[in-house]
Amino acid sequence: MLQILSALASGFLQTLLLVALTFVIGLPLGVLVAIMRVSPVGVLRGVGTVYVNVFRNIPLPVLMFFSVLVLPQLGVDTSFFVLALASLVVYWGAFFCETVRSGINSVDLGQVEAARSVGLSSGQTLIRIVLPQALRSTVPPLIGIVIQIVRASAVAGAFGVTELYASMNGVIQHNADKVILILFLTGVFYLVITIPSGLLLGRIEKKAVFAR
């Protein structure tokens, strides 16, 4: 029992690490692509649009096949963890981008006009006026995305990363008589992250703390 728990706990830590890194790398990527998508420069807009439409529509497992099987052939020599992380980042980066972009679009037009009329350039307007407000209104959907990342990170377990799902599989193979118990415990580990985040999300949305 203790053995099972400690194996699952170490998988849980890997899952947390994977999710945290995906968020920390993916969010700036998403913001960057969102800036590209609202820029007046056509080529940047095009690149951003293509990026989002490509990566949002490929299933995560297919992306993982790419990074785990194709990248090593092209001379990328790194661990499964980094490869899986790379596909999680580019996949969720597209969702981060769309969230931030809809945040940008929700900022009141008067804010932009006021900023422009006091002489800020369009870049300054974006970075000093629009983005801070946009990011604030994206807090609830971002929490939603984090919950999704936690759930999706299980896919990495099928590609050689020993996160929670893979640990569960390993443990089940050695304790075939306790399948239900192990599934139950693993479920609890996932729910420990996802349910409190969901409740937090509900509270924030209800209070509209972040509404302007």
Partner 1 sequence: MSTLLHDAPGPRAKRTSLLLNIIAALAAAAGIIWILIKLASKGQLGAAHWAIIGDPTVIALLINGLGATLLVAVCAMALSLILGVILAAGRLSRRVWLRVPARVAVELLRGLPVLMLIFFIYLALPLIGIVISSFWALVLGVSLYNGALIAEIFRSGVNALPHGQSEAAESLGLRSSQIMRYILLPQAVRSMLPALISQLVVIVKESSLGFIVGYAEFARDGNAVVNYLGTLYALPVYTEIAVVYIVINILLSQIATRVEKRSRQRYGRAAQQVLDTE
Using the minimum distance from each CB to partner 1, give the nearer residue, 81 or 186. Answer: 186
Using the minimum distance from each CB to partner 1, give the nearer residue, 84 or 152. Answer: 152
91 class by beta-carbon count within 10 Å (0-12 exposed, 13-18 middle, 19+ buried): buried
Cα first-last separation, the chain: 50
Is-contact 51 89, C-beta < 8 A?
no
Which value, in Å, is the radius of gyration of the alpha carbons in the chain?
20
Binding footprint of partner 1 on the chain (CB under 8 A) = 37-38, 40-45, 47, 53-54, 56-63, 65-66, 69-70, 73-75, 95, 104-105, 109, 112, 116, 122, 125-126, 130, 141, 144-145, 147-148, 150-155, 157-158, 165, 168, 172, 179-180, 183, 186-187, 190-191, 194-195, 198
For the bound state, the minimum distance from the C-beta of residue 116 to partner 1, rounded and expressed in Å, comes to: 7
For the bound state, the minimum distance from the C-beta of residue 1 to partner 1, rounded and expressed in Å, comes to: 19
For the bound state, the minimum distance from the C-beta of residue 130 to partner 1, rounded and expressed in Å, comes to: 7
Residue type, 146: V
For the bound state, the minimum distance from the C-beta of residue 24 to partner 1, rounded and expressed in Å, comes to: 20
65 class by beta-carbon count within 10 Å (0-12 exposed, 13-18 middle, 19+ buried): middle
